[in-house]
Amino acid sequence: MTGQSQTTMVDDRVAAVRAFNRFYTRRIGVLREGYSQSRFSLTEARVLYELAHTDGATAARLGTDLDLDPGYLSRMLRRFGQEGLLTRGALASDRRQNVLTLTDNGRTAFAPLDKRSREDIAAMLATLPEPAGEAMVDAMRTVTRLMSDAASSGWTTRPPAPGDIGWMIARHGVLYAQEYGFNRQFEALVAQVAGAFLAEHDPTRECAWIAEQNGVRVGSVFLVRKSDEIGKLRLLLVEPSARGLGIGRGLVHACIDHARQVGYRGLTLWTNDILVAARGIYHSAGFRLIASKPHHDFGPPMVGEEWALTL
């Protein structure tokens, strides 16, 4: 991908995120003066929510969890105390800090905020047919996982579940078109290979793996039968967001290990010279280039390559 196309992609993503932020903040009423038609701002309502659902809350913890300015939060909590919405008690482990607890008046003030928020979200979901509503909620869960400060770089593999093969086909089509300019013939080939595996693969000799990071699919690969003695590695994919974590190498070695376990004496694969990162993984795993031939089956001119590994 050229520097200009990379810049364009980043600009498009920034514009999309900003557009979503404008849409969603307007849709849920964040810009109104009072949250859920109350006298509290959105930030004040969020602080009340945390106080209602957190045992042993302190100002320091609230400030960290909500990323709030200490002075602003201190003034807010002082006012809540003056209005009889919360009480303060010394923290047993640190007498310099106070435990913040909602009073009965505080819980009474928070209850209609919580009820109205639930009703507003339920009403929004009710405008969508069931598949669309579930898709929207799934997308929100995905955003939460990806943006969470607690997200780790760890990843795991698992066998394909319903829907995974379709995802593999779609992501191959999208990513290879974006990054290398591949045409629909490539997606058609991927669909043919993946569809055949889904319809008639031999579970004793063939396998596939999905790589996940924080519950999100980030990679995949197939091991299929070429002959009784030779297996074939196909359709290795790693999402751009997860590259550099060793996922591609891990998926390739999963194929190699399984091929040995089921009795294959060798592995082959077919790739293209422009897939530099994948070729590096294959080479480091012990595969060797045994044949090559120029072609333009997928649009741009490239060199198709056959690689082999003796087990």
DSSP labels, 94-141: EEEEEEEEE-HHHHHHHHHHHHHHHHHHHHHHHTS-HHHHHHHHHHHH
- Weakest-pLDDT range from 7-11, 94-98, 145-149, 295-299: 145-149
- For residue 302, the model assigns a pLDDT of 96
Query: Which of the four CATH numbers 3.40.190.10, 1.10.10.10, 2.60.40.1940, 2.30.30.60 does domain 8-127 have?
Result: 1.10.10.10
- For residue 5, the model assigns a pLDDT of 62
Give the pLDDT band (50/70/90) at residue 225: very high
The amino acid occupying position 30 is V
- Most confident by average pLDDT, 45-59, 143-157, 236-250: 236-250
Neighbours of 276 (CB within 10 A): 8
- For residue 307, the model assigns a pLDDT of 97
- Section 122-144 average pLDDT: 85
Locate tokens 């060797």: which residue?
288
Give the architecture-level CATH label for domain 156-310. Answer: 3-Layer(aba) Sandwich (3.40)
Distance CA 221, CA 172 (A): 11
Instruction: List pLDDT tens digits, range 171-189.
Output: 999 999 999 999 999 999 9
Ordered by start, the domain boundaries in the chain are 8-127, 156-310
Kindly report the average pLDDT of the chain as a whole number. Answer: 88
- Section 158-181 average pLDDT: 94
- For residue 92, the model assigns a pLDDT of 64
pTM of the model: 0.60
From 277, 240, 251, select the one nearest 156 (Cα to Cα): 251
Q: Does the pLDDT value for residue 162 go beyond 90? A: yes
From 162, 166, 146, select the one nearest 215 (Cα to Cα): 146
- Section 41-56 average pLDDT: 86
DSSP letters spanning 56-93: TB-HHHHHHHHT--HHHHHHHHHHHHHTTSEEEEEETT
Give the pLDDT band (50/70/90) at residue 250: very high
Do residues 214 and 151 make contact, with C-beta atoms less than 8 angstroms apart?
A: yes
**Three-point CA angle 254, 256, 261, nearest 5°:** 95
Give the pLDDT band (50/70/90) at residue 84: very high
Instruction: List pLDDT tens digits, range 271-293.
Output: 999 999 999 999 999 999 999 99
Share of the chain above pLDDT 90, in %: 51
